[in-house]
Structure 1
Amino acid sequence: MREAAGGGSVLFACAVLLALLVRRTACAHNYTMLQQQDELSTTYTKDSLSNFTEFTKNYGYYSEEHVVITEDGYILFLFRIPKGKNCNGSVVKPPVLLMHGLLMSADSWLDAGPSAGLAFLLADVCYDTWVGNVRGNYYGRRHIRLDPDTDSEFWDFNTEQMGVYDLPAIIDYILQHTGSKDLMFVGFSQGCRLLFTMASETSGNVEKIRIAINVAPAVRVKYTRSISLRLLTGFYAAVSPILKSPRQLEVLQKGGLIQTVSAFICKDYELARTVCPLILAIIDSYDPGSVATDTIRTLFGHFPAGTSAYAFGFYGQGIISKKFQKYDYGLRKNLQLYGNAVPPLYNLKKSTMPVVLVYGNNDFLVDPRDVKWLSKQLPNVLETYEVSRATWNHLDNNYSQLAKRLTFPKINQYLRKYSNRG
C-alpha cells in the first residue's frame, strides 16, 4: 500500500503499539473484573467519532455548516460558531477565520476541548468564529464534476491551488454572508502558507485581511528537524510524478491504514496516556505533559485527515530547495509554465497586511530559524513572538491543554486590537 511505502517508521510504531494492545487485551480477558473496569476506557470517545457540528454540540455550543465552491469546482465545508455559549456580550466584528495545518481539518481547532481548543476559546470571548477546510481532506473531498475515487484529476493539486482558489473562495463567502468588508485571520502551519501564497499569486485579497496571525508558519522549511517529515515528504516528492490512480494520489486519508490503526490503539486510555504520545513524538519533538490524554484519544479520530501526494511532496521539494518557491514540475514543464528551468520564488513582499508570527523553540517541523527568516521577508510584521514554554512544539499549538495560557492571550491581544471593540 502507498502508506506503507512512504511511512515505514510510522507503520512500524503503530504495529508495535497494536501488538501491545493485543497482548494487554488477551491478559485482561482472563480477569473479568479488570475487563469490566476497562470497558469504558477502551471504547472510542464520543468526540473522536463526531464531526465538527456534532463536536460543538457535545459541549452545548451551536455551530453552522456552510458549503463553499471554488472557482475550479472543489466543494469545501466551512464551519461557523457565531457565538460561544460563554459569551455574555455582543458579537465582535469583523469575523475571524481559522485555517488548519497539513493533514488536518477544521476539527483540529476543537480536539483539545472547550478549555483549550482555539475555536471554542475565540467563540467564548464573542468572536464570530469561522473555521475553514481545504481540498483533499475529508471535508474537502467533493467536486462539481470529478469523483475523488475514480478521477485522478481530482488529486492534481498542491498548496498553490489551495492558496489561489480555496482560501479566496472561503474569504469571499464569509464576507458576503456577514456583510463585512474584511476579516481577521488566524492560520496554523500550512494555513499560513496558503495566506502568503494567496498574497503572492492573486490580487485584491490582501486588502480583505485586517490582521493575520500566523502560528508556526510552514512557509520556508529549510531547517525542518522532523526526520519523519523529511522522509515522507521526500518520498512523495520523488514518486509523485509516476503515481497515476486516485488510490495512489490520495495519501494519509481519514479511514486509511495509519489513521484507522492510530485511532484504534489510542482509544485505550492507558495507551493514550503512556504510549500514544510517542506517535506524536515521531512526527514532532516530545513535550511531556502538554497534550491531555483525552485529547490524544480524540485527535486520532480526525488526524491524519488526508491530502494529495503532490501537496505532500511539495513540502519535500521545499526541504530540498531550501526556498519558498513554486512547484517544480521538471525542466520541460517548468519552461512551459514559468519560462525558466527553475521555479520562481513566491513574492512575500506582496503580503502587506499586518502580520504576527508565533513560534515554539522546540518545534521540529517549523524551525524557529525559518520563522525568523520569514519575519525579515515580510513588509509589515507587528511582532515575532516566542512561546515561553521551552519544550513547546508544533502540534502543541492545536492540541496542548496549556494553549489557553501560553498562546491564546497573544492571539486575543491582537484580535482585540484590530477588532471593532479594540
Structure 2
Amino acid sequence: MYSFGIREVVAGLQDVGKLLESVCQFPLIDCTNLIAAITGPNCCIKPSTIEALLDHAPQSTSTKNLVHLSQIILVRQGNIAMYDYGDESENKAHYGQSTPPLYDMTRIPKDIPLFLSYGQNDALSDVYDVQLLLDNLKNHQKDKLVVQYIDDYSHLDFVIAANAKSIVYDPLMAFLRTP
C-alpha cells in the first residue's frame, strides 16, 4: 500500500477489510480468531470485551507505521532498526548510510525507572525480543528495573484481560509510587 502512495489506513474503510482478508490467506493463520492470530493466544479476555474492542478497532495508522512493524516482526534479525526504505539510496538520503541504523537500547539512561512486563504467549513482543532488550539493559541500576513475566499472557491481555488490574496494573502503580 505504501509503495502505491496510500499513506494512511483509516479504520472502517474497505482497505482494512481487504488487508485482513489477504492476511487470512497465509498458511498457519487461523482467522476464526484474528486477534489471537496477530497478538498470540490471549488467556483472560472476556468475550464481551473482545466485542467492544472490535467495535473500535482497528484504529487508523500510517501505512509506513505498518510497514515498519512488519519489518520488525517478519525480518527478525535480532535487533531493532529504524524504518528501511528498501532502497540503499533512499536509506542514504534519510540516514546518511545505505542501511537503516539500529536503535541503541544501551543508551537508555541507567537510572531511569523501568517496569517491563511481558508474557509467554505474546506474538508481537515475544520472549526472544524481550530478552534482547534485557541483554541491553544488563547494566541498568537494579533498583530502577522491575521485570514482570506472566506465563499465560499475550499482547492484549496486558491491556484488557479481566485480571489485568491485579496482575499488571496494581504492581505497576506500586512501582510508580516508589520513591
- Which of 346, 351, 362 is matched with 2:121 structurally? 362
Within 5 A, what are the aligned runs for 1:317-336?
317-318=71-72, 319-320=74-75, 322=77, 323-329=79-85, 330-336=87-93
SS in 2 for 1:374: helix
Opposite residue 82 of structure 2, the aligned amino acid is K
Look up the match of 1:386. 149
* Distance in 1, Cα, partners of 2:50 & 2:123: 19
Structure 1 gaps, min length 5: 1-238, 263-275
Q: Would you identify which runs of 4 or more consecutive aligned residues in structure 1 move more than 4 Å?
A: none
SS in 2 for 1:366: coil
Residue 374 of structure 1 pairs with residue 133 of structure 2: yes
- Which of 164, 168, 173 is matched with 1:407 structurally? 168
Q: CA deviation at 1:411?
A: 0.6
Look up the match of 2:25. none
Structure 2 gaps, min length 5: 21-30
Residue 300 of structure 1 pairs with residue 92 of structure 2: no
Q: CA deviation at 1:308?
A: 0.9
Look up the match of 1:338. 95
Within 5 A, what are the aligned runs for 1:8-27?
none
1:247-303 CA-to-partner distances (Å, cap 9, x unmatched) read: x3222x3222457xx9xxxxxxxxxxxxx9823222222235x11122122111211
1:336-374 CA-to-partner distances (Å, cap 9, x unmatched) read: 232221111122222212212100111122111111210
* Distance in 2, Cα, partners of 1:310 & 1:354: 31
Q: Number of paired residues?
A: 157
State the superposition RMSD in angstroms: 2.4
Look up the match of 2:7. 249
Look up the match of 2:40. 285
Within 5 A, what are the aligned runs for 1:113-192?
none
Opposite residue 326 of structure 1, the aligned amino acid is M
Opposite residue 119 of structure 2, the aligned amino acid is G
Look up the match of 1:309. 63
Under a length normalisation based on structure 1, what TM-score does the superposition of the two structures give?
0.35
SS in 2 for 1:397: helix
* Distance in 2, Cα, partners of 1:360 & 1:304: 22
Q: 1:400 to 1:321 in 2, by over 3 A?
A: closer
Whether the 8 Å CA contact 2:42–2:156 is kept in 1: the answer is no
Q: CA deviation at 1:335?
A: 2.0
Higher RCO, 1 vs 2 (CA within 8 Å, ≥6 residues apart): 2
Whether the 8 Å CA contact 2:42–2:155 is kept in 1: the answer is no
* Distance in 2, Cα, partners of 1:409 & 1:315: 29
Which structure has the larger Rg over C-alpha atoms?
1
Whether the 8 Å CA contact 2:81–2:101 is kept in 1: the answer is yes
* Distance in 1, Cα, partners of 2:48 & 2:126: 28
